[in-house]
Structures are given as structure tokens and as C-alpha cells.
Structure 1
Amino acid sequence: MRRSRYGTHLFLVVMSVMWLAPLLWTLYTSLRPKQTTDKYGYWSLHGPLTLDNFTTAWSQGRLPTYFLNSIYTTVPAVLLTLALASMMAFAVSRYTWKFNLTLLILFTAGNMLPPQVLAAPLFQMFKHVPLPYSLSTSGSLLDTYYAVIAVEVAFQLGFCTFVLSNYMKTLPAELTEAALVDGAGVWRQFRRIIMPLTRPALAALGTLQVIWLYNDFFWPLLFIQSGDRLPITTGVNSLQGQFLQDYNLIAAGATITVIPTLIVYLALQRHFVAGLTLGASKG
């Protein structure tokens, strides 16, 4: 028994070191001046530590603008995904009808397709979808937040529907049956009974969705061409010079981008753990 515990602890320690080592070294690199790393190398421990890279990255890299752009895409995408997924999960988990299982499989199967396969078709489709110039400077869905939000919602909807439907199936059926006897309609059952009981699962999914969508690099890079509309994960590329790479500055910018997701996780940690625990105990 002790040997198995020692083995488990050793495995966890090794995995923790492997996970934290790149992050800690990135933080250390961001605190070192470029002149120091040029002189001693990136794998050295010589030289002073300073916050100059962070101030330069914040001002030179226009990070405040990119942070706002990330908010414009992440918040609507997360809210829309959770709202649509909860409605779909309620339909397939609380009611029995002919195509509920088939529809759930179709939603889930969408996650099996690599996003890169759909990159070219989606780009061409958005290019030919007209929008008024009051909503889009390109006259189409390209180079707009709407394109990124639509794709993010479409790709995350299947996973969230699958998780929420499994969670809702664990809720007693007598709750909605009693509400139906009392005269509550479908919408009232969903809004007043099921949704309050699903808050832990929504908090856990919301935390994951914020982290995933905020850190997404591929779709914003594909659909947004204007530099002043890029989100933070894509906009941090502006810290790269054309002929000279300042990896200390890039490391500082990358470290700054982690702060919002860390704050969200710490703020929702209790609800996140509660959602995972309840899902596991009821499964």
C-alpha cells in the first residue's frame, strides 16, 4: 500500500515539475534584460531581474487594446454557447422524442472534426456573406468579431451540450413532472427548475470555456486581418521584430496574457471544483 502511494506521489511530482518548468522558465526569462541573455545565454542564471520587459510589452505591444478585443469575442461566445447548449441539453435529456439521441450524436460528432479541415471552406463562406458597412468594414463576415464568435460557438456547442445533458439526466424526473402537474410550461420548467440546479455544471463549463476561447489562436488569426482587432493571444505577435527577435519581451507579453485566465479560474475555483465533484458523484 505504501509503495503504491509512493509511486503515485512520485508520478504527481514528476508531472507537476514537467508542467511548471516551462511556465517558471518563461517567467524568469521575462524578468531578464535582453542584454543579459545575449551575454550569458537563455539557460544561464546570471544577471539582474527587472520589470522593464513588462512595461515595454504593455506599451509597445498595445496589449490594452488586444485585451478589449479578447473580451469582445470571448464573453459573447461563452454566453451564447452556454445558453444554446443548456437549451439543447434540456430538450434531449428531459424529453423523449424520436430524434433526441440522433441529434445529440450529431452535436457531439462535430467535435471529432479537426478545425483545420474546415478552415478554407469557412473562410470562403464568410468572404461571400454580405454585411452592411455599418457592421463590417470589409462588407462581409471577414475581419469581424462576428465570424470568430460564430465559429467558436459552433465548435464548442457539441461538447457543452454533451456535458450538460449528462448532468441534467442525473436530476430527478419527478421535479419536472410535479411542475407539469402544477401547470408549468416547458420554458418555466427550464428557467425556474432545471437551470438553478445546473449552476455548478455551468460554472465549471464556463470556466473551461473562458480559458479555451480566450487562449484560442487559430480562428482569430484566420478571420481577422486588421491589426487593431486582434485578440491578445494573436496580437502578442506584434512584439516580434522583423529582423530581431526579443524573446525576453515576448515572454513578458505571454506572461501578461495568462493573468486574466488565472483570475477567472481563482474566482470560480470553488464553483468549478463543485461542478466536477457533483458530476462525478452523480454519474
Structure 2
Amino acid sequence: MTTDIRTPVPVRPPAPAPLQPPRPRRRRGRWGAQIFLTAVSLAFLAPLLLAVYASLRPYQETARYGYFSWPRELSFEYYRRAFTESGMGKYFVNTLIITVPAVIVTLFLAAFVAFAVSRLRLRGGLLLLVFFTAGNLLPQQVIATPLYVLFNSIPLPWWMSDSLTMYDSHWAVIVVNIGFQLGFCVFVLANFMRTLPQEILEAAVVDGAGVWTQFWRVTLPLCRPALAALATLEFTWIYNDFLWALIFISDPDKLPITSSLNNLRGQFFTDYNLLAAGSVLVALPTVLVFLLLQRHFVAGLTLGSTKG
């Protein structure tokens, strides 16, 4: 009697399922979002591009053919005239005298208050944060008259103000900008400092670090992205401010750069191409500051968007 032994046939594993192509709906949605964002970006850039285009053309040409016509002549003559006829160099120095101290002092004081509110767990810290934030909700024009009377009553030595008062001096504009920008900076920094791990400060305390060391050498370096983002915003806002300088400064030689554009307007006629060239020159420093701090600014805007 023989036994039939059959060789087992190897079974092939099933073929992997083919990869499915991406869904067309997602692709259409992505293209739609890109088209929408491109359109919005062009809409915001259109006035700037039109100003640059107009500043390179003579006024007679745009008056005859229109601003949206094909150019016959392009030159940088209006930029030279805008810089020389408006005295822009002197006004730019005045703007730096106001803007740089205001930004530095605002960020320094805001970092102090934010650290005390968010990291030291003071009693009434939340109420103090609400107080600083509520200061931004007050319309600035409401206290213009009281501040005008106050600054005329505050004496200053001759080496700080030739008017012997805070009125008609750069100190008045600096103090007002610090007061109105402080609340927003405290709010942003306090919320950012709350996201920092508490274990870092606890380790610093174990190593014998005092409050100043915890603030200056531990917390402040970690807040560099937030400080850079705030510095960019604050420089732009204070640099472009015109209201407070117009109210608290009467000497034309002390006005900031935004007031230099008024010198390009005639009594009976205004060359808007020349005014566009002056506007572009005035905007260049803020664009330069943004380009220098762009990496830190974007990092500050995306803080807290991801974990880990």
C-alpha cells in the first residue's frame, strides 16, 4: 500500500492595494485658497505699487494720459526733490529721537510687568493685567486736552527742553506713546510667559537665582521671538504716529518725518506724484526694520501654534 504525498503549493501573498490618488476636492480647495490669498495680497499691495509707479512718472504725463496708462518716461527725479524740498533728513532724525527710546522703554517696562503678573504669582495679578489691557480701550482723543494742560504745567530744565516745559518737546510724545503702547505689550508678553515651563524657574531657584536673575537671564532670553515681533509692530506704529506730535509740538523743526509730507503740498497746487515719492521714502525705514526682524517676527506670530 503506497501513500500519496503531495508537495504543497506555495501561496503567494496578496498584492498590495494600489495607492489611491489624492482626492480632487482637496486639490481644488488648496488651489482655491492660494488664489484667494494671492488676490488679497495684490489688493493690499495695489496702493503701494500704484504710488511707486506714479512716483517714477512726471505729473504732466499722468495728468494727460492718466495714472493707469503706459509710461513714456521713468526717472527718480521726484525722489531727489522729495528728499531735498521737504527737509526729510532733519525730520527723520527727530523721528528716531522719538521712536527708538519709546520702543525700548515700552518693551523694558512691559517685560517687567508681564514677568511680575505671570511668573511671580502676585495677588491681584490678573486684575493688574486687566487694568493695563483696558488702557488700550480708551480713545486717545479723549485725553488729548487734559494731557495738553498737564504737559504745559510740568517744568523741565533747559537742557531737556528749550520751552522749559514738557510741552513742545520730544519728551511729551515719547511719554504718551509709552503710556498707550504699554498695555498691549504687557498683554502679549504676559500670555507668552505663561506658556514657558515652570520647571525652568524652579531649577533656577534651586541653583540660587534671585528674582532679577530669573527675569534677566532666564525668562527674558526665552522671550526673544515675542520681543522681536513686538519691536517690529511698535516701531511701525510709533514711527507712523502723527497725532501726538501735531498736538504737543509747536516748533516745526521738532516734528517727526510724517509731518514732512505737508511740506510737499502747495497752497494752490499739489503734485501728487511728488507726494507719492515722499510717501515711499517715508515708508522705507519701516520696511527695512521688518526685513531685518522678519525671521523673529514670523517666529513670534507662530508661537503656540504647535506643541512639542
Normalised-by-shorter TM-score class? over 0.9
Which among 150, 158, 166 is matched to residue 191 of structure 2? 166
Maintained 8 Å contact 2:99/2:239: yes
Matched, 1:241 2:276: no
Sequence identity (%): 54
Deviation at 1:282, TM superposition (A): 5.7
What is the SS of the residue equivalent to 1:166? helix
Query: Could you tell me which of 22, 30, 44 is aligned with 2:55?
Result: 30
**In structure 1, C-alpha distance between the alignment counterparts of 2:255 and 2:163, rounded to whole Å:** 15
1:126-147 superposed Cα distances (whole Å, 9 cap, x missing partner): 1222222332222211111111
The aligned counterpart of 2:207 is 182
Distance 1:64 1:181 in 2: 53
Indicate the residue corresponding to 1:129 in structure 2: 154
Contact 2:249 2:255 in 1 (8 A): yes
Partner of 1:222: 247
8 Å Cα contact 1:123-1:142 kept in structure 2: yes
Residue pair 2:110, 2:182 contacting (<8 A) in 1 also: yes
CA distance in 2, matches of 1:280, 1:230: 41
- Which of 44, 50, 53 is the aligned partner of 2:78? 53
Report runs of 4+ in structure 1 exceeding 6 Å deviation. Answer: none
CA contact (8 A) 1:233 1:257 kept: yes
Q: Residue 255 of structure 1 aligns to which amino acid in structure 2?
A: V
Counterpart in 2 of 1:101? 126
Find out whether 1:17 has 2:45 as its counterpart: no
Give the secondary structure class of the aligned counterpart of 1:278. Answer: coil
The answer for the alignment partner of 1:210 in structure 2 is: 235
- TM-superposed CA distance for 1:43, in Å, is 4.0
* CA positional deviation for 1:259: 1.0
Instruction: Note the residue ranges of structure 2 that are not aligned, 5 or more in a row.
Output: 1-25
The CA distance in 2 between the partners of 1:128 and 1:242, in whole Å, is 35
Report the structure number with the largest CA radius of gyration. Answer: 2
- Structure 1 contact 201–279 (Cα < 8 Å) conserved: no
Q: How many residues align?
A: 283
1:199 and 2:229 matched: no
Change in 2 beyond 3 A, CA 1:195/1:282: farther
Structure 1 window deviating more from structure 2 (13-22 vs 102-111): it is 13-22
Matched residue of 1:23: which SS? helix
Moved more, 30-39 or 211-220: 30-39
After superposition, what is the alpha-carbon deviation per residue over 1:160-219, rounded to whole angstroms, capped at 9, x for unaligned? 111111111111111112222222111111011001111111111111111111111211
Structure 1 distance, partners of 2:304, 2:240, is: 25
User: Cα RMSD over matched residues?
Assistant: 1.6
C-alpha separation between the residues in 1 aligned to 2:141 and 2:305? 33
Q: Which runs of 5+ in 1 are unaligned?
A: none
Rounded to whole Å, the distance in 2 between the matches of 1:185 and 1:241 is 61
Following the alignment from structure 2 to structure 1, what is the Cα–Cα distance between the partners of residues 122 and 287? 42
